[in-house]
């Protein structure tokens, strides 16, 4: 909290500073109003400018193509936009700059899924690609950082990686079951430090669903530093390596 400072009375109104903001208190109406002040900076970094395609990659820029192939979702600087491949209009899906979004991707039904820390933890939300309906929170999981969600082809599950190099599957049905699929141990702490102190060594970098949504495939690095392709049977909760060590 802040103390009021620099109060000045004139014509029945009091101007004062509260923290970084300026307010006007109307003595007769007994209410305060914060002043909207915009200061144009001389610093280049603070001025409005257009970004080229290469610069966009530095601002959490991600893209996803719709199931029908006629639309693309773009996530840039916390906002989500959908743009038609051919004719049509661009839509700003998100309109709340206080709630940055990440990793927008399409569900098979054309809805969008994206991550946001609106609750204080990074969770996944369903969004209307037209920007009309309110977003709906889909998950309520542990506080680890989550990466891009991968919806299953049947739309009933999502798979995702977290900052602990774990693969998770979240069911979007009524029960909403969440279960861990696998983890690459080379990325974990052991004996007070990383087992391999090399950036991105052992980190799982891709997960893919089978067309029938029963299997999840991913590469897993082994102790000999070779990658092995593993498929996970979601129905029977079983791992099946399909390449040699």
User: Which tens digits make up the pLDDT trace of 107-136?
Assistant: 999 999 999 988 888 899 999 999 999 999
Which pLDDT score, from 0 to 100, does residue 10 have? 94
Which pLDDT score, from 0 to 100, does residue 189 have? 44
Residues ≥6 apart with Cβ < 8 Å to 214 = 233, 234, 235
- Name residue 123's beta-bridge partners: 116
Segments of the chain scoring below 50 in pLDDT: 187-200
Q: For residue 189, is it left (φ>0), alpha (ψ between -120 and 50) or beta?
A: beta
CA distance 171 to 9: 60
3-state secondary structure of 44: helix
The phi, psi pair for 204, rounded to 5°, reads -70, 125
Which pLDDT score, from 0 to 100, does residue 21 have? 92
- Name residue 82's beta-bridge partners: 73, 91
CA distance 48 to 67: 34
- Name residue 217's beta-bridge partners: 208, 231
End-to-end CA distance of the chain: 59
Which pLDDT score, from 0 to 100, does residue 143 have? 64
Q: Read off the pTM.
A: 0.68
């Amino acid at each position: 909290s802040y103390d009021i400072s620099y109060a000045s009375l004139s014509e029945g109104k009091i101007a004062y500073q509260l923290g970084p903001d300026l307010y006007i208190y109307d003595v007769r109406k007994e209410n305060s109003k914060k002043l909207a002040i915009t200061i144009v900076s001389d610093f280049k970094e603070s001025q409005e400018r257009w970004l080229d395609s290469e610069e966009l990659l530095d601002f959490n820029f991600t893209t996803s193509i719709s199931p029908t192939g006629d639309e693309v979702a773009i996530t840039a600087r916390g906002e989500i936009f959908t743009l038609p491949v051919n004719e049509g209009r661009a839509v700003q899906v998100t309109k709340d700059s206080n709630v940055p979004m990440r990793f927008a991707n399409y569900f098979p039904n054309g809805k969008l899924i994206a991550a946001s820390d609106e609750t204080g933890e990074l969770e996944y939300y369903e969004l209307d690609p037209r920007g009309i309906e309110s977003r709906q929170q889909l998950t309520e999981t542990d506080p680890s950082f989550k990466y891009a969600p991968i919806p299953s082809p049947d739309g009933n599950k999502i798979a995702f990686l977290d900052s602990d190099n774990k693969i998770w599957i979240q069911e979007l049905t009524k029960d909403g079951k969440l279960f861990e699929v696998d983890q690459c141990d080379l990325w974990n702490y052991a004996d007070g430090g990383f087992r391999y102190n090399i950036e991105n060594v052992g980190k799982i970098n891709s997960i893919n669903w089978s067309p029938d949504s029963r299997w999840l495939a991913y590469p897993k690095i082994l102790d000999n530093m070779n990658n092995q392709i593993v498929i996970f049977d979601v129905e029977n909760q079983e791992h099946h390596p399909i390449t040699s060590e």
